[in-house]
Amino acid sequence: MIFSIAAHELRSLFLSPLAWVILAVVQFILAWIFLAQLDLYLGVQAQLANLEHPPGITELLISPLFSSAALLLLLVIPLLSMRLISEERRARTLPLLLSAPVSLGEIVLGKYLGLLTFLGLMLLLVLLMPLSLLGAGSLDFGLLGANLLGLALMIAAFAAASLYISALTSQPTIAAIGSFGLLLLLWIIDWSGQNSGGSVLAWLSLQQHYQGMLQGLFDTADVAYYLLFITTFIVLAVRRMDAERLQD
């Protein structure tokens, strides 16, 4: 049942030109960044050879790429997720799902899964760029794996938060702006209070947990943070939909 809804969601995404345009734009920008990094690397390659422990190609090329990818997707995911629930509400198609023998949890998870599948495809396209280097040399697969996991978790967290925001409104545009605001805030929340009580805010920050993985550090605490983050927002979205049924 979840999969039927997910498949439907994925199909609706691809029916709109938005998804294709976003795929193209993200791919183009990341390719540009990748090329720029490659250029930079080629420039300093000679000097690197003189170092005792030179940083590898993965460290110099891939990590910056994944770092930029996260930021770019922060801008893009709210646009993809804005329609998830708010569009159903606007077009008044929600009764179809609500009067079918499906629970609210299944509806929300189905939609989330549909979006994740799309984002998975996007991630796969991004991954192709580092893999193209295999033709010229070898990669540090441990580091690449950590980067990939980090970005995947980050994307999943973005999607969950924007799904919740989409459940709050019946205006897709407002959902997009709201999600963007929330994600950006969670990204930079550690900027304030660096000196006093900053540790809680730093722990809350999405970015803090990403940094470790970009350096190849796999910390279960970071993974747990993302999983908690995702669960929280999905539960909130279900609760929100339920509240609508009970509203007075």
Partner 1 sequence: MAQHSLISVEHLSRRYGNTLAVNDVSFSVQRGEVLGFLGPNGAGKSTTMQMLTGNLAPSAGAIRINGIDLLEAPREAKRHLGFLPEQPPLYRDLNVDEYLGFCARLHQIPRARIARAVAESKERCGLGEVGRRLIHQLSKGYQQRVGIAQAIIHGPEVVILDEPTVGLDPIQIREIRQLIRELGGEHSVILSTHILPEVQATCDRVQIIQRGELVLSDTIAGIVQRMQGSSVILGLRRPPDEASLLALEGVQAVQALDDGRLRILHARQHNPAEALATAAAQRDWGLYELSPERLSLEEVFVNLTTRETPAEEGQP
> Where does this chain bind partner 1 (CB under 8 A)?
1, 4-5, 8, 11-12, 15-16, 91-103, 245-248
Whole-number Å distance between alpha carbons of 39 and 44: 9
Torsion of CA 215, 75, 4, 149, to 10 degrees: 0
Give me the least distance between CB of 13 and partner 1, in Å please.
Answer: 10
Nearest residue (CB) to partner 1, 91 versus 124:
91
Q: Which is nearer to partner 1, 15 or 188 (CB)?
A: 15
Angle subtended at Cα 83 by Cα 125 and Cα 188, rounded to the nearest 5 degrees = 70
Q: How far is the CB of 80 from partner 1 (least distance, A)?
A: 16
Q: Indicate the residue among 86 and 205 with the shorter CB distance to partner 1.
A: 86
Nearer to partner 1, 53 or 245 (CB): 245
Q: How far is the CB of 16 from partner 1 (least distance, A)?
A: 7
User: Which whole-number Å values give the CA distances from 84 to 17, 22, 195, 235, in the listed order?
Assistant: 16, 16, 39, 16
Q: How many CB atoms lie within 10 A of CB 4?
A: 12
> What angle in degrees, to the nearest 10, is found between the helix axes of 83-90 and 141-168?
20
Q: How far is the CB of 208 from partner 1 (least distance, A)?
A: 40
Minimum CB distance to partner 1, residue 15 (Å) = 5
* Residue closest to 214 by CA, chosen among 155, 147, 149, 151: 147
First-last CA distance in the chain:
30
The nearer residue to partner 1, 5 or 70, going by C-beta atoms, is 5
Q: Which C-beta is closer to partner 1: that of 95 or that of 137?
A: 95
Query: For residues 183 and 161, is the Cβ–Cβ distance under 8 A?
Result: yes
